[in-house]
Amino acid sequence: MPDLLAIQGLRAGYGEAVVLPDMSLSLAEGQVLALLGRNGTGKTTLINSIVGIVRRLSGSVALAGRDITALRPDQRARAGIGWVPQERNIFRSLTVEENMTAVAQPGPWTVERVYEMFPRLKERRGNFGNQLSGGEQQMLAIGRALTLNPKVLLLDEPTEGLAPIIVEELLKAIGSITRAGGICSIIVEQNAQKILGLADRVVILERGTIVHDAASSALKADPSVLERHLGVAGAKVH
């Protein structure tokens, strides 16, 4: 069985600036990858390259064995790329339910199943996007991505600015989603401690290049890697 996501020799950036000089990365079904790195190291550019909204100079992106390099972002979404950007990008003038039904595709992830995952959304199903708290908006952004029934779920800073209790709820849900089968996840996160308990694998970027790629358990056993690459000194990794 091929990897769900396979990136080969990807060179990408903005205008004349090359952010990813030569990126190769693959993920298998059920895998949760934490993508770490200081600001400006290419994490969001990598996510956006998979989505298809960054200038690609060379290389390829394949999804479940299908080359999607030439597809537009909307075609990639229908093919199975689920994206939750930092800005969340929910439809603020639509209700919670309309946000999800507007993009839903057939598959195991229905609106009702999202409500089971996030009961708070069910309570707010008739509320407009702009009436939700930050945590509820993030739940909706994830729920909307799930109703596309993606093969790959991309989350860019999903816990940023949220209360610790909401963060815990979201991370638990993300773990359940990926382990439900048929999907893999890439999570960009500034705070390594938040994500290491959830991720199977950790990739650290510097200047658009992978400088560390290992099981998260190895990083827990040797926190000096975090200090060296991220400047996280003396931090406890749970």
Helix (H) or strand (E) holding 171: helix 164-179
In the chain, the number of structural domains is 1
> CB-based contacts of 199: which residues, under 8 Å, 6+ apart?
32, 33, 34, 187, 216
What is the secondary structure of 172-219 as a DSSP string? HHHHHHHHTSS-EEEEE-S-HHHHTTT-SEEEEEETTEEEEEEEHHHH
What is the rounded distance in angstroms from the CA atom of residue 115 to the CA atom of residue 234?
40
The pair of three-digit structure tokens given for residue 104, joined into one six-digit string:
């839903």
- On whether residue 155 sits in a domain, the answer given is yes
The tens digit of pLDDT for each residue in 20-79 reads: 999 999 999 999 999 999 999 999 999 999 999 999 999 999 999 999 999 999 999 999
The pair of three-digit structure tokens given for residue 8, joined into one six-digit string:
């080969």
- On whether residue 139 sits in a domain, the answer given is no
Confidence of residue 207 (pLDDT cuts 50, 70, 90): very high
Mean pLDDT of the chain: 92
Query: Residue 36: which CATH number?
Result: 3.40.50.300
Instruction: Tally the residues of the chain.
Output: 238
**Strand order across the beta sheet in which 55-63 lies:** 17-27, 5-14, 55-63, 66-67
Q: Which residue segment(s) compose the domain that 41 sits in?
A: 5-80+150-230
Q: pTM score, two decimals?
A: 0.93
